[in-house]
Amino acid sequence: MGETTIGLLHPGEMGAAVGKCLAGAGHRVLWVPAGRGAATRERAGAAGLTGVTFGEMVTRSEVIVSVCPPHAARDVARQVAGFGGLYLDANAISPATAGEVAAIVAAGGAGYADGGIIGPPPVAPGTTRLYLSGPRAAEVQALFAGTFVDARVVPPPGSASAVKMAYASWTKGWAALLLAARALARAEGVEPALLEEWVISQPGLEKRWDGADRSAAAKGWRWTGEMEEIAAAMAAAGLPSGFHQAAASMYRRYEQGPSRSDR
């Protein structure tokens, strides 16, 4: 398709990589530098994004893409009130929250597409899927044609967020459980015995714990909200929500910034 002007809120690690894919496909990608730090500005520059004011982004964009922490999804949607184009929420939120975001943007005059990203930032082919749902999902899918983002439509509305919730319930849920298991052993003074048992019966598990620990240290602040969204999705489906509420509590410990030796 031809060039489309796309607003991106906001170019963090994932958002910048998504924006770079869109810019590489020939689209003009706008972002708002005001209030953003040097690292964000550097990412946006490397991705080929064009800095504008917030008002300019809203008036010039045909599509706005939201890639933000889950807890901010509603507020980001409210910020674009008056935007009349197509709004893609690509955040890790429950189907119910996605419905709330859809209502917010519709009340402000925009169309809505539900999205869920699975995989790392798209810097190579075959690594990252963007699930899309809703009546205008195919329009968003077309924007990513030929890019590193494998955009897949899964109707009906809310399905994209449901796929993301179900997938992350395992990938980030097991990591929280593994972190909790070792924390319990440490609290009870049996950590050396547990690690020795892992070597015997669960080879590689300590390495997996180390990866989970490093990821939680870097992203626990973001994953807390994601686990809460998964817990809400589980409850809405009539499934137990307590596990992912506990996972949120585990990641919240990392938000508080204890040293690795204290975990």
The model's pLDDT over 38-97, given as tens digits with 9 standing for 90+, comes to: 999 999 999 999 999 999 999 999 999 999 999 999 999 999 999 999 999 999 999 999
- Whether residue 260 has pLDDT greater than 70: no
Q: What's the chain's length in residues?
A: 263
Domains, the chain, with CATH or none: 5-157 (3.40.50.720), 162-262 (1.10.1040)
Contact 138, 115 (CB under 8 A): no
Within 10 angstroms of residue 19's Cβ, the number of other Cβ atoms is 27
Q: Quick one: how far is CA 222 from the chain centroid?
A: 8
The predicted model gives 226-252 an average pLDDT of 98
Are the C-beta atoms of 14 and 65 separated by less than 8 Å? Answer: no
Closest C-alpha among 170, 72, 159, 76 to residue 115: 159
**What is the average pLDDT across 230-258?**
93
User: How do residues 123-165 score in pLDDT, each as one tens digit?
Assistant: 999 999 999 999 999 999 999 999 999 999 998 999 999 999 9
pLDDT tens digits, 166-205: 999 999 999 999 999 999 999 999 999 999 999 999 999 9
**pLDDT value at residue 1:** 57
pLDDT tier for residue 257 given thresholds of 50, 70 and 90: low
Residue type, 33: P
Which tokens go with 162? 């449901």
pLDDT at residue 201, rounded to an integer: 98
Confidence (pLDDT) at 259: 38
pLDDT at 2: 76
Distance, CA of 76 to CA of 58 (rounded, Å): 12
